[in-house]
Amino acid sequence: MSTVQKPPARLEQPTKAWTTQPSKKPRRAAICGLIIEAFEYFKLYLATCCNHCYVYLVKEGLTWAERIFWLILIAVSHYASLYIAMQSIDRFLTKNAYMGIERDYFSWNTSLPSLTICPMERLDREVFNQYCHSHYITGQNKDDLWDLLEHLANSTYMNFQDIPNHSSLEGTLDKLQLKPNKYMELIYNLTVDHTLNPVDKLRIRCIDNDEYIHSRQVLTEYGLCYLTNNNIDDRYSSKYLLFGEMPEYSEYEIKHNVRRIQMGSYPDKYIDFNFIGFQSPIDVYAHSSYEVMKVDNNYGYTTENLYYEPFSPEITTDHNFETEASVRQRNCRFSHESNLTHFPVYTKNICLQECRLNLVYKVCKCIPHFYPNRLRKPKPVCDYKTLRECMPQHESYFLKLYRQRPNSKKLDMAPCYCEQNCRGSVLSLKVSLYTRSKQLYGSYGATMTEKEWPTVRYKREIYLTFTDLLVYIGGTAGFFLGFSVLGVIEIFYFFTMRLLFHLFGYKL
Ligand SMILES: *[C@@H]1O[C@H](CO)[C@@H](O)[C@H](O)[C@H]1NC(C)=O
Ligand SMILES: *[C@@H]1O[C@H](CO)[C@@H](O)[C@H](O)[C@H]1NC(C)=O
Ligand SMILES: *[C@@H]1O[C@H](CO)[C@@H](O)[C@H](O)[C@H]1NC(C)=O
Ligand SMILES: *[C@@H]1O[C@H](CO)[C@@H](O)[C@H](O)[C@H]1NC(C)=O
Question: How would you write the pLDDT of the chain (508 residues) with one tens digit per residue?
Answer: 344 444 444 444 444 444 444 555 688 888 998 899 888 888 888 877 766 677 788 777 888 898 899 899 989 999 999 999 999 999 999 999 999 999 999 888 999 999 999 999 999 999 999 999 999 999 999 999 999 999 999 999 999 999 999 999 999 999 999 999 999 999 999 999 999 999 988 999 999 988 999 999 999 999 999 999 999 999 999 999 999 999 988 899 999 999 999 999 888 889 999 999 999 999 999 999 999 999 988 888 888 899 999 999 999 999 999 998 999 999 999 999 999 999 999 999 999 999 999 999 999 999 999 999 999 999 999 999 999 999 999 999 999 999 988 888 888 888 889 999 999 999 999 999 887 777 777 889 999 999 989 999 999 999 999 999 999 998 998 888 888 888 888 888 888 888 888 888 887 7
Is there a contact between 213 and 252 (Cβ–Cβ < 8 Å)?
no
Is there a contact between 113 and 427 (Cβ–Cβ < 8 Å)?
yes
Given this model, what pLDDT does residue 24 score? 58
Distance, in Å, from the CA atom of 351 to the CA atom of 416, rounded to the nearest integer, reads 9
Report which ligand 4 atom has the smallest distance to the Cα of 341. Answer: 13
H helix intervals, 166-230: 169-176, 183-190
H helix intervals, 98-256: 125-134, 139-153, 169-176, 183-190, 238-243, 251-255
Nearest ligand (C-alpha, residue 263): 1
416 lines ligand 4 (CB under 6 A): no
Mutate to test the pocket of ligand 1, among 209, 258, 265 (most ligand atoms within 8 A of CB): 265
161: Cα separation from own chain's centroid: 33
Span from the CA of 300 to the centroid of ligand 2 (angstroms): 10
Given this model, what pLDDT does residue 365 score? 94
Span from the CA of 452 to the centroid of ligand 1 (angstroms): 18
Residues constituting the chain: 508
Given this model, what pLDDT does residue 436 score? 73
Q: In DSSP terms, which residues pair with 502 in a beta bridge?
A: none
Amino acid at 153: A
Mutate to test the pocket of ligand 3, among 181, 189, 243, 245 (most ligand atoms within 8 A of CB): 189
Mutate to test the pocket of ligand 3, among 185, 187, 192, 193 (most ligand atoms within 8 A of CB): 185
Mutate to test the pocket of ligand 2, among 120, 156, 395 (most ligand atoms within 8 A of CB): 120
Distance, in Å, from the CA atom of 496 to the CA atom of 12, rounded to the nearest integer, reads 28
Report which ligand 4 atom has the smallest distance to the Cα of 327. Answer: 5
Report which ligand 4 atom has the smallest distance to the Cα of 354. Answer: 13
Distance, in Å, from the CA atom of 239 to the CA atom of 219, rounded to the nearest integer, reads 8
Given this model, what pLDDT does residue 47 score? 79
Distance, in Å, from the CA atom of 38 to the CA atom of 493, rounded to the nearest integer, reads 16
159 lines ligand 2 (CB under 6 A): yes
419 lines ligand 4 (CB under 6 A): yes
Nearest ligand (C-alpha, residue 333): 4
Report which ligand 1 atom has the smallest distance to the Cα of 259. Answer: 5
CA-based nearest residue to 379, from 362, 393, 395: 362
Q: How many CB atoms lie within 10 A of CB 98?
A: 11
Residue bearing the CA closest to ligand 2, atom 10: 120
Residue bearing the CA closest to ligand 1, atom 2: 109
